[in-house]
Amino acid sequence: MAARGPGPQSAEDRLIARYFRPLANHPGAFGLSDDAATLTPPAGSDLVLTTDAIVGGVHFFANDPADLVAKKALRVNLSDLAAKGAKPAGFLLTLALPKTIGDAWLKVFAGGLAADAEAYACPLLGGDTVRTPGPVTISITAFGTVPQGTMVRRGGAKVGDRVLVTGTIGDAALGLVQRRVAGAVRRWKLDRAQRDHLAERYLVPQPRIAIAEALRVFANAAMDVSDGLAGDLGKLCAASGVAAAIEIAQVPLSEAARKAVTAERSRIQTVLTGGDDYEIVCTVAPERLTPVRTAAAAAGVPVSEIGVVVAGKGAPKFLDHTGKPLLLKRPSFSHF
Amino acid sequence: MAARGPGPQSAEDRLIARYFRPLANHPGAFGLSDDAATLTPPAGSDLVLTTDAIVGGVHFFANDPADLVAKKALRVNLSDLAAKGAKPAGFLLTLALPKTIGDAWLKVFAGGLAADAEAYACPLLGGDTVRTPGPVTISITAFGTVPQGTMVRRGGAKVGDRVLVTGTIGDAALGLVQRRVAGAVRRWKLDRAQRDHLAERYLVPQPRIAIAEALRVFANAAMDVSDGLAGDLGKLCAASGVAAAIEIAQVPLSEAARKAVTAERSRIQTVLTGGDDYEIVCTVAPERLTPVRTAAAAAGVPVSEIGVVVAGKGAPKFLDHTGKPLLLKRPSFSHF
């Protein structure tokens, strides 16, 4: 992504200069006036790299507000950085735009992105804008730093570790159902604030950057929950060569989600396997539970203990109040 | 991009494990088994970051061979690294795939990518695969290293510098015309080898990685020529606050391009302003011309002196054999 200085400009140059240069306040971004950016992690640090794309009609709706689309695109990447214990350092943006997208949309999009780049201290370093005959596609690569060798891995869970999650689970997936399935809102008897809560949880993830440092210091394994708690915890267990036993009653639900599940019991499947939570699941040795809780409280991030890492292989078990494992119809969300 | 270990896998996990894990032989890629990768530039180095996307139906044809599509996607990024004087260190891949893309295409795609990752010592570090209702879209972020503070900038050209380009200019744009405009091949009287040359130059760029080190040491300014020589040199001049005078007769043409321009004189516009050259334009102080030529020869990269940096503002002038500037109808290629 690079705009010209003086002289005649292409439409692409103009849109970069107008909307994106203000976000590029990192010295290594060179004001988006070059073909590449530079980034130099502090001595003794590793750079943590993650990339996630969102596609119109797949990961967001075409009529979602452009500022929230921008925030979602960045935050799904910040969520990965947080789970890995990394501090944000910057990002690259690739924007594939259909001809139908005009300046009004781009202005709002850039505004949302600017607000988050500022809020999360994660400046725009560069990028690329391309035309597409398909839907708006936003691919972001985000960079973070950790002291060398300390990135929190998926594969570090140990038998006896406690399984913790941040925030509440299932809201975003229920928010999507509420948007797509006629009658859901009526059946669940949600009030306006509860409906808004679920809708917003789908639209804009809250990346748990505030707890990244505590995870790095105290967690044995962590990943963000983007494709459903059951499936993602399964991936963490598989990478660690362990299994897990989770008490469904301990999985933290918002008031809205609790009402939905109470009214329609099968929705517990949506909660445990639906995507877009962007919370963090991690495993922590029992003796480190207290420091993790203290650090999380100081960071203002709710954490809940939901189960324990056990020896074995295979998918984690989700146990009901009688201790019986729930059969999950489709453990992990996948567009494939 | 992360695949599971043992246990049930999603279709996405399977395709990553089957096709892309073999390319991820960098320790920081964690075998694509985590949510992020790590990269640690050597002490005293900057990481150079660049990202470029290619879109089916825009930057390549839907029926182009999948291995060449993969190579193009990586090479357009390597071309940027080369122009900035950087040594490749790795890349992230975001692949947006329509449902119509099957295993056969992916296998060939991954094969092409693997060959180039190996050839350019640029391993896959991670990525993301997403579904799209649009065309295949490939977004790559490539990383390189330079000694701290030595990335070759667009803005360093000085009055009196000589303007140099690598390779030959215009082949890819003529290759595209040849493919799109009926009768072009007949008019230009190209033999089979010449037609193949132009076609191939459009399909697979040759990133000038071999000359990156020489650029870093000797060039005052450089960028890769991806959107047409005239427009890209204009960007370099604008960033440097200078102008340039180029002798059209000195712009290096392949035999095929020379025949096309001889047969159809207006095609010089295509040559000077068409995209996809992926050569490098740079400016070098006169006293450094000899060491640059020596280094380029040692690297096996042809370089040609095409003009000089002059004081002033505005688009570079392209002078014909009488010294008269050619009026360029559309100086820079842009999809916008």
ipTM of predicted assembly, 2 dp: 0.92
- pLDDT at residue A113 tops 80: yes
Which residue of A lies nearest to B36 if distances are taken between CA atoms? A50
pLDDT tens for each residue of B199-224: 999 999 999 999 999 999 999 999 99
* Amino acid code (one letter) for A63: N
**Percentage of the residues of chain A whose pLDDT score is greater than 90:** 89
Chain B, window 64-83: residues with a beta carbon less than 8 angstroms from a chain A beta carbon: 80-81, 83
Q: What pLDDT, in 10s, does the model give residues A240-263?
A: 999 999 999 999 999 999 999 999
> Is residue A228 left, alpha or beta, with left meaning phi > 0 and alpha meaning psi from -120 to 50?
left
Average confidence (pLDDT) over B260-284: 96
| B92 → chain A, closest CA residue | A51
Name the residue among B182, B95, B90, B80 with its Cα closest to residue B134: B95
For the cut 90, the answer to whether the pLDDT of residue A95 exceeds it is yes
| CA distance to partner chain B, nearest, from residue A115 (Å) | 23
pLDDT of residue B182: 85
Residue that wins the pLDDT comparison between B176 and B9: B176
Q: What value does the mean pLDDT take over residues A65-69? A: 97
* Contact in structure between B143 and B48 (CB atoms under 8 Å): yes
pLDDT at residue B3 tops 50: no
Cα radius of gyration rounded to whole Å, chain A: 21
Residues 6+ apart with CB under 8 A from A34: A2, A126, B84, B151, B153, B154, B155, B223, B239
- Name residue B37's amino acid: A
CB contact under 8 A, A94 and B154: no
Q: Contact, B220 vs B244, CB < 8 A?
A: no
Q: How does pLDDT run across B92-134, given as a tens digit for each residue? A: 999 999 999 989 999 999 999 999 999 999 999 999 999 999 9
| Inter-CA distances, A293 with A215, A303, A305, Å | 11, 7, 10
Taking only residues 121 to 180 of chain B, the set having a beta carbon closer than 8 angstroms to any beta carbon of chain A reads 125-135, 137, 139, 141, 143-144, 146, 148, 151, 153-155
Please answer whether residues B26 and B106 qualify as being in contact, where contact means their C-beta atoms are separated by less than 8 angstroms. Answer: no
Q: In whole angstroms, what is the distance from residue A128 CA to residue A234 CA?
A: 35
pLDDT of residue A32: 92
Interface of B with A in 177-196 (CB under 8 A): none
Measured in angstroms, the CA of A259 and the nearest CA of chain B are apart by 31
B17 touches chain A (CB under 8 A): no
Neighbours of B44 (CB within 10 A): 11
**B92 vs A46, A51, A313: nearest CB:** A51
Interface touch A6/B313, C-beta < 8 Å? yes
Q: B263 with B189: CB under 8 angstroms?
A: yes
Work out the minimum CA distance from B236 to partner chain A, whole angstroms: 8
| pLDDT value at A204 more than 60 | yes
B315–A131 C-beta distance less than 8 A: no
* Residue pairs spanning A and B at CB distance below 8 A: 262
The answer to whether B106 touches B19, Cβ cutoff 8 Å, is yes
Q: What is the pLDDT of residue A333?
A: 62
Query: Domains of chain B by range and CATH?
Result: 11-147 (3.30.1330.10), 154-319 (3.90.650.10)
Chain A segment 247-276 residues within 8 A of B by beta carbon are none
Tell me the per-residue pLDDT of A146-200, one tens digit each, with 9 for 90 and over. 999 999 999 999 999 999 999 999 999 999 999 999 889 889 999 999 999 999 9
Contacts of A6 in chain B (CB under 8 A): 238, 313
> Residue A16 above 50 pLDDT?
yes
Query: With b meaning 16 or more CB within 10 Å and e meaning fewer, what string describes B280-306?
Result: bbbbbeeebbeebbebbeebebebbbb
What average pLDDT does range A32-38 have in this prediction? 94
Tokens 């009287």 found at: B189
Q: Across the interface, do A48 and B30 touch by the CB < 8 Å criterion? A: no
Provide the mean pLDDT of chain B: 93
Tokens representing A42 are 């502090």
Residue A12's pLDDT is what? 74
- Please check whether residue B336 is in contact with residue A29, taking contact to mean a CB–CB distance below 8 angstroms: no
Where is pLDDT greater, at A272 or A15? A272
pLDDT at A331 over 70: no
B45-55 and A37-39 as β-strands: parallel, antiparallel, unpaired?
antiparallel
Residue ranges of B 187-246 with Cβ closer than 8 A to chain A: 223-224, 231, 234-235, 237-239, 241
Hey, are the CB atoms on B7 and A238 less than 8 Å from each other?
Answer: yes
B154: nearest CA in chain A? A34
Put simply, the answer to whether A34 touches B314 (Cβ < 8 Å) is no
State mean pLDDT over A57-63: 92
Q: Which of A34, A94, A154 sits opposite B153 (nearest CB)?
A: A34
- Residue B335 is predicted with a pLDDT of 62
**What's the pLDDT at A17?**
84
Within 8 A of B89 by CB-CB distance, chain A residues are none
Give the tens place of pLDDT for each residue, A265-298: 999 999 999 999 999 999 999 999 999 999 999 9
| Residue scoring higher pLDDT (A99 or A333) | A99
pLDDT at residue number B332: 67
pLDDT for B331 equals 67
Whole-number pLDDT of residue A13: 77
Torsion of CA B303, B172, B142, B25, to 10 degrees: -100
Stronger pLDDT, B333 or B29, i.e. the higher one? B29
- Nearest CB neighbour to B47, from listed A4, A47, A130: A47
If you ran DSSP here, which 8-state letter would residue B56 be given?
Answer: B
pLDDT for residue B17: 84
Contact B134 A139 (CB under 8 A): no
CB B37 within 8 A of CB B141: no
Q: What is the pLDDT of residues B301-329, one digit of tens each?
A: 999 999 999 999 989 999 999 999 999 98
State whether residue A292 is helix, strand or coil: helix
Contact B131 A51 (CB under 8 A): no
Closest Cβ opposite residue A35 in set B45, B80, B129:
B80
